[in-house]
Structure 1
């Protein structure tokens, strides 16, 4: 049993973000009861959080180890009844329920080491579309940037996370000097820690841990803070305290600060107070160099004509390029054949081939076809899950493939600008965490044909 859970955790460590893994999954213990994987969390709050957000990811990881998908149940350690001295005479056990008992003190804030970061500056391919963000990221590390704060913005899959982790890795390496205390969190993880501290009535220790024990704060996906006033207030005070100590701050978001509706004006102003660098989709020469770099990483020999073909057609984002390389390599190995132009065309058939003239009407037609709904339903007031999912998919595709503003996209679907932001943010979260829904959305987006 211990080996099974250890192997499952190894898979989860690679498939969820480092912060989510260390905060929510690492503290769990496990046992198998029939076809159920029963997880024990240290307290009721952690149990409820895992049960609500990570159950599918855990079940899929366990399935790859156990050979079939188990049922997953999460219980709290402090809700388990202790053994009764005459338990054998008491008949079958009653089901264990999660009881919201008192919480232990909040988990301490931990700085991270360089081995926690998967990406470095050395493996980042620089081109005209991302050069400013790259130079600024290096500058924040070397203190050559005329600001102690950096805001990196781009559409999904263009390198924000890569640069943020590269900053963390370089700072942790230290370069012979005293290493700064680096904290790397997603906005959701920051919020989770604060909520845990509130429930544990330990907010003061939360404040102290962030405001006095951090030299560099790397905060990802700050658009998650929208419409969360209590968390925004604490974040604003934390940022003020860190800046007063001369700490460095780096934020990433899929939206510009001015597009973040539902964010307090003071906090939005704080986000804007440093250097802002955007990343655009890579041009053809940069895409080709990215392809060559990814092919080398995956030990794939790409003929020149295949490299040219893929670079010409894979324009959406870098994740798509890497996925195509992996699938091409796997197909060649399974068939025991060399990679050819014909094979590349076959693999490209599984992906969205970018069309520079893609319009919002094209996107609406595609989404309606995929989700089997009418354009009228897509723009209706319906809150059915499948209709909301289709609408959010249209928001994300319009954001990625058109030059329309968020307000223009909202008007097309009879929605407010803030609703568009919320829909895009929801899907991006599933994409970044690679949840089952995230993988479904990724496949839906890949199939969008010109």
Structure 2
């Protein structure tokens, strides 16, 4: 199958962010030999990164495309580089590839992106997000004072939706074939800078971000906490873009004033544009979301079922949408009408908000889930299992309570900066779908009212 890797990489392109695909998947050379997917990275750095963080996604995509789960033989094409075995030892195969350096030619996705996943038309507006929605729409109108926007919310409430909607709308309005847009996360920005440094291509990196952009959409800027070099580069990038009248949208789980270990000058830059906070959706907004999704899927949603879902799933929109997709799919697969019994069967897999979730309940849940006492969570221990448990408690407290970061930290004898880092760590692990991230996600999903 000569085109097997092409089809697998196309599948990955549809599921990965543009930045991740361009940076880590596109530089790979691959082919299928017997039942083994043979991949070669251009150098050891890319090979190690893919092995540690991307291999599971590649295996899943290969299984979907090929109809079976192949073995994966991943190595570096760099001269003299040792193989990185990721499966039980397999015979080494000879692949003819062009000698490559770091894949800087594909590292920065600054071209027009045509596959925006979210639009303004499918964003449900309510009191919880109206200001952020209006600010995002106004940003697209190029009105005075709208050259920078900072969107803040807890995970799953819509900041990514609005960021992508802005990119899609500006690309549509400009009617330009080659609008220079860069949409990526702060983690991807950092990874590309690291690669540029290793490839001795920093000036090329600076040119692409500071001179070759019309719009920068940068997600999860809180990732840069404690990363001094990355902060310096972003600060200079924002200064350059502002001086040229270019436009920037940033998102974060935290307001600029809540961030820790960030250069004060960068914090000031974050706060100088318009800032909009997205809050948890109220009951009526949740009902509107359910109605809109049901109409889009062309399914009949009984009013009693919609009311149940709106009452029970209150923590975030992403979880509500996931639950609805599972309900629609099960209904179609089993050729069943959507009923209370069917919905209750699916609801048991989700974080239900029908009861009050306070910090005491979260602490009790985390202690039981991880097998620790409260004294262990509050101790000075830096053992990995205790840190993960503590960070999970921070994350759940931020998500389910209205306590400030200072109040959360005080309960665990920690500074608010430690709370921020812990929450960011959980978000990153879950987003990357690492083995630890999947474990944390399963634990979080067990918290029920």
Matched, 1:38 2:68: no
Tell me what 2:85 maps to. none
Range with bigger deviation, 353-362 or 7-16: 7-16
1:269 is the counterpart of 2:268: yes
Q: Which residue of 1 aligns with 2:139?
A: 140
* Contact kept in structure 1, 2:42 and 2:101, CA below 8 Å: no
Tell me how far apart the structure 1 counterparts of residues 396 and 115 of structure 2 sit (CA, whole Å). Answer: 32
Asked if the contact 2:154/2:253 (under 8 Å) is kept, the reply is: yes
Mapping of residues 71-110 of structure 1, within 5 Å: 71-79=71-79, 103=102, 107=106, 109-110=108-109
Q: Residue 320 of structure 1: CA displacement?
A: 0.9
Q: 270-279 vs 286-295, which deviates more?
A: 286-295
Q: Specify every segment of 5 or more residues in structure 1 that has no aligned partner in the other structure, as ranges.
A: 82-91
Query: 1:344 maps to which residue?
Result: 343
Q: Report which stretch shifted further, 253-262 or 386-395.
A: 386-395
**What RMSD, in angstroms, separates the aligned Cα atoms of the two structures?**
2.7
- After superposition, what is the alpha-carbon deviation per residue over 1:230-254, rounded to whole angstroms, capped at 9, x for unaligned? 1111111111011000111110000
- The change in CA–CA distance for 1:4 and 1:379 in structure 2 (over 3 A counts) is farther
Partners of 1:150 and 1:49 lie apart in 2 by 32
**Between 412-421 and 277-286, the greater mean CA deviation after superposition:** 412-421
- Deviation digits for residues 293-336 of structure 1, max 9, x if unmatched? 22233343211111111111111111111111122123223332
Structure 1 residue 106: Cα displacement: 5.6
Q: Is the 8 A contact 1:358 1:402 kept in 2?
A: yes
SS at match of 2:380: coil
TM-score by length of structure 2 reads 0.89
Structure 2 residue aligned with 1:364? 363
Are residue 353 (structure 1) and residue 358 (structure 2) matched? no
**1:429–1:108 CA distance, 2 compared to 1 (3 A):** closer
In structure 2, the CA distance between the partners of 1:180 and 1:227, relative to structure 1 (3 Å rule), is: same
Count of residue pairs brought into register by the alignment = 437
SS at structure 1 position matched to 2:276: strand
Could you say which residue in structure 1 is the equivalent of 2:20?
A: 20
Aligned residue for 1:53? 53
The 2-side partners of 1:137 and 1:291 are apart by 23
How far the C-alpha of 1:382 sits from its partner, in A, is 3.5
Distance 2:60 2:381 in 1: 31
Aligned to 2:295, what secondary structure does the other structure show? helix
SS of the residue 1:79 aligns to: coil
Name the stretch that deviates more: 104-113 or 255-264.
Answer: 104-113
Query: Structure 1 residues 71, 59: closer, same or farther in 2, change over 3 A?
Result: same
Structure 2 stretches lacking a partner, 5+ long? 82-90
Instruction: Name the counterpart of 1:380.
Output: 379
CA distance in 1, matches of 2:392, 2:71: 29
**Is this contact kept in 2: 1:106–1:196, CA < 8 A?**
no
Distance, in Å, in 2 between the alignment partners of 1:10 and 1:300 is: 31
Q: Deviations over 1:385-439 (max 9, x none)?
A: 3332222211110000112222222232233322221221122123334445444
Deviation at 1:5, TM superposition (A): 2.7
| SS at structure 1 position matched to 2:122 | coil
Change (3 A) 1:364 1:70: farther
In 2, are the aligned partners of 1:57 and 1:435 still within 8 Å (CA)? no
